[in-house]
Chains A and B, each alone.
Chain A
Amino acid sequence: MTKLSSKHLLGIKNISREDIDLIFSTADNFKAVINRPIKKVPSLRDITIANIFFENSTRTKLSFELAEKRLSADVINFSAGSSSVKKGESLVDTVNNILAMKVDMVVMRHPNPGAAMFLSERVDCSIINAGDGAHEHPTQALLDAFSLRERLGDLTGKKVLIAGDILHSRVALSNIFCLQKLGAEVAVCGPSTLIPKHIEALGVKAFLNFRQALEWCDVVNMLRIQMERQDIQYFPSLREYTMQYGLSRQLLDEVGKEDIIVMHPGPINRGVEITSDIADSEYSIILDQVENGVAVRMAILYLLAGQANSAN
């Protein structure tokens, strides 16, 4: 298996276990590349990539841009705040205008679920979803799983807890699909207002009690409360949320988890979902996730660019 099954990366739901394995083995090679004195390879030197961000992003955008530059691609950046989108241009028109300038691939973040798929059906180039509303964030899930695989090896039977604002999280959904495809067991935990109805239909356990959930898991992935997506009040106060669902050293000591792995996709709200001493502790692989993000994105760009030529 040397080829991805799709010419786009729209979500984890529609890629296969073999695709994930291929991305990981390619990312292993790129991780070696980015740890060399000269961190750059010429593979994509004749490719132009547009990073189109209709929503704010720091980490994902920087990570994609670095990955593109380390592959020697030409990069153009676009953010909705400073563009004609404000003047009423449609998504397809915006992207087609960019493609008319001979762009080969598009990395897109958009506030609407399904935006990446919508675009992939209407324009003729590879689309990489860098987050579409509360739907999917496939590259984040892949780098999370890649980082876990580095620590744990095979993920079969490993128990991963995703805690926090599940309802508004694209990271949660992509992580659920990705971890399940790799054989892990997944559970979510949060206040009942932030757990989607019928989430058990995805084969996911749902905990309301954070302490019980911690006792169950090998790995905990802490999500941020997405205030910007919350139109109504989902819990009485941040202070109360922190008391019930915040991860602290005291709580980990009480539960007696000495070899737990703590993840966070960022940005961290220190003192809300996670205390500083845990975020910076030996349990945390948060900075590994960031480093691996570049290698995993290089692998995805490389694999999609390589087959764009022969794809039908």
Chain B
Amino acid sequence: MHHSMESRSLLNHESLNHTLDRLAYQVFERHLNVSELALVALQPRGTFLGRRILSRLKSMYGTEDIRYGELDITFHRDDFRRRDEMLVPASTNLDFSLEGIHIILIDDVLYTGRTVRAGLDAMLDYGRPANVELMALIDRRFSRELPVQPDYTGRVVDVVTDETVKVKWSEDDTNNEVILFSSTKHDEVK
């Protein structure tokens, strides 16, 4: 990362925790029947958010039995052969059928909407869900290229194109942070 780049914190660890609590409560509020619910987090970065929402929902619903899967969308992207670097696939861990249940698709930063489109496409390989809702920790709402909107939003961020939003998740979950960088490095743009 370049040293001259300016950065400022959008959410510190404590406020990020409040946001995660709120997102989980919103799911809890809307979904009475946990047996018809499944969380599907998008690889690679959506899984950090997904796992944290999952652990909160487990204590809210009072059960360990909540379906949670991680979905890799590499083979469903629409920019294959249109970019210079190859895309490295991550693993998909989804050992249940999505047929007829309520899905919450989870990613950390919602930007162009293309990842979500690919995620919807990839999900079809696992059945036809009753409905799909979208959760994003950060919604960069003026950067959309497809008609995709979140149902659960952590924070809306209005940034110009050469700014980057990065969610930093610490391994031990003690120092998470959302940071806005004001000069862009290509590989950090979601």
A303 and B82 CA atoms in complex are apart in Å by 13
Q: B54 to nearest A CB, angstroms?
A: 22
Determine if A42 and B81 form an interchain contact, defined as CB atoms under 8 angstroms apart: no
Query: Is B5 interfacial (CB-CB < 8 Å)?
Result: no
A44 and B74 CA atoms in complex are apart in Å by 12
Q: How many residues of A contact B (CB 8 A)?
A: 25
A28 and B75 CA atoms in complex are apart in Å by 13
Query: Is A36 interfacial (CB-CB < 8 Å)?
Result: yes
Q: Which residues of B contact A3 (CB under 8 A)?
A: 85-86
A26 and B74 CA atoms in complex are apart in Å by 11
A37 and B95 CA atoms in complex are apart in Å by 11
A26 and B88 CA atoms in complex are apart in Å by 8
Query: Is A204 interfacial (CB-CB < 8 Å)?
Result: no
Q: How many residues of B contact A (CB 8 A)?
A: 20
Say whether chain B's binding surface is mostly helix, strand, loop, or mixed. loop
Query: Is A111 interfacial (CB-CB < 8 Å)?
Result: no
Partner of B75, one of A2, A43, A46, A307: A43
Closest to B82 in A: A309
Query: Is A29 interfacial (CB-CB < 8 Å)?
Result: yes
Determine if A307 and B92 form an interchain contact, defined as CB atoms under 8 angstroms apart: no
Q: Which of B85-106 contact A (CB under 8 A)?
A: 85-89, 91-92
Determine if A305 and B125 form an interchain contact, defined as CB atoms under 8 angstroms apart: no
Partner of A306, one of B72, B76, B81, B124: B81
Partner of A2, one of B76, B88, B124, B125: B88
Determine if A2 and B85 form an interchain contact, defined as CB atoms under 8 angstroms apart: yes
Q: B38 to nearest A CB, angstroms?
A: 16
The winner among B87, B89, B91 for most chain A CB atoms within 10 A is B89
Partner of B91, one of A32, A38, A44: A32
Query: Is B121 interfacial (CB-CB < 8 Å)?
Result: yes
Determine if B75 and A37 form an interchain contact, defined as CB atoms under 8 angstroms apart: no
Query: Is B142 interfacial (CB-CB < 8 Å)?
Result: no
A32-B92, A36-B125 as given contacts; A41 in contact with B85, CB under 8 Å? no
The winner among A33, A37, A43, A47 for most chain B CB atoms within 10 A is A43
Q: Which residues of A contact B86 (CB under 8 A)?
A: 2-3, 303, 306-307
Determine if A26 and B87 form an interchain contact, defined as CB atoms under 8 angstroms apart: no
Closest to B74 in A: A29
CB pairs A–B below 8 angstroms (12 shown): A2-B85, A2-B86, A28-B91, A29-B72, A32-B91, A32-B92, A38-B125, A41-B76, A41-B125, A43-B76, A46-B81, A303-B86
